[in-house]
Amino acid sequence: MSTNLSRSDAIYASLRRAILEQALKPGTKLPEDSIGDTFGVSRTSARNALLRLASDGLVEIKPNRGAAVAMPTLEEAEEVFALRRCLEREVIERLCKRMPRDGIDALISHVREEERALQASSPRSIRLAGEFHILLAELTGSKLLIDFISQVVSRSSLILARFGRPHSAECGIDEHVQLIEALKEQDPETASRIMDHHLHAVEDRAKTDDKDDGPDIAEILNRYMSASE
C-alpha cells in the first residue's frame, strides 16, 4: 500500500476503477470478507470503502444482505441521462464564460490519451472517456459540480455496462474533439448543441440490451490491486 493512502482509500480506488472499466459488472456481489482477504486487510477497511462507493452510486448496500455493484434500471437510466444533460449544459455555459488558462490544452492532452488507450485496446479507454467529462467539470473550479458530474458519469458507465455492448466506450473520441473546438470559439449555443447531441448519442449507445456474467471477484481485484501500488 502507498504510504499516503489509508487502507480504505486504496480499496476504494481499486474497486472504483474495476467498476468503471467494466471488470466488475452490475450485480456482482462484493462481500466484505472477500475484499478484505484480497487486499490483506480486515473487513473494517473494506466496509469503509464500500460505504464510500455506495454514496457515489456505484455500489448498492442492503441491510443484512451485503454490497453489490449497482444495477441500474432502465427507469434510472432515463433519470441519470436527463439530469446529466442539465448538469453538463451548466458546465458548458460556465466554460464558455470562463475557460482557465490551460484548459484547452488539458482537454486536448486528455483526448490524446483516450486515443492511445483505444489504439492499445486497453480497458482504460472506457474509464478515460468518462473522465473527459469530469475534466470539463474540473475546469469550472466548482467542487460540488465536479462531485455531481462525477456521480452522473459513473452512473452512466454502469448503465452502459448493464445495457450496452460489452466493453464499449460510452463516448466517441471525435465527439470530444468537436466539443473542444466549440469551446475554443467560446460560443455557448454551438457548444451546448454539440454536448446535447453527444449526450444523446451516449445514451443511445448505452441502451443496447446485452448482458453477460462476470468472472471471479478475487481474480479481478488482484489485477486492480496491483495497479494501485
Contacts with its own copies by CB under 8 A lie at 6, 48, 51-52, 55, 57, 63, 76, 79-80, 82-83, 86-87, 90, 142-145, 148, 151-152, 155
User: Would you say 4 or 119 has its CB closer to its own copies?
Assistant: 4
- The distance of closest approach from Cβ of residue 121 to DNA in the complex, given in angstroms and rounded to an integer, is 33
- The distance of closest approach from Cβ of residue 147 to its own copies in the complex, given in angstroms and rounded to an integer, is 8
Residue 41's binding partner, choosing from its own copies, DNA, none, with beta-carbon cut-off 5 to 8 A by kind? Answer: DNA
Residue 167's binding partner, choosing from its own copies, DNA, none, with beta-carbon cut-off 5 to 8 A by kind? Answer: none
- The distance of closest approach from Cβ of residue 186 to DNA in the complex, given in angstroms and rounded to an integer, is 43
| Beta-carbon contacts of residue 144 (< 8 Å; ≥ 6 apart) | none
Residue 67's binding partner, choosing from DNA, its own copies, none, with beta-carbon cut-off 5 to 8 A by kind? Answer: DNA
Amino acid in the structure at residue 86: C
CA distances from 35 to 32, 150, 218, 222, 223 (A): 5, 24, 7, 10, 13
Residue 152's binding partner, choosing from DNA, its own copies, none, with beta-carbon cut-off 5 to 8 A by kind? Answer: its own copies
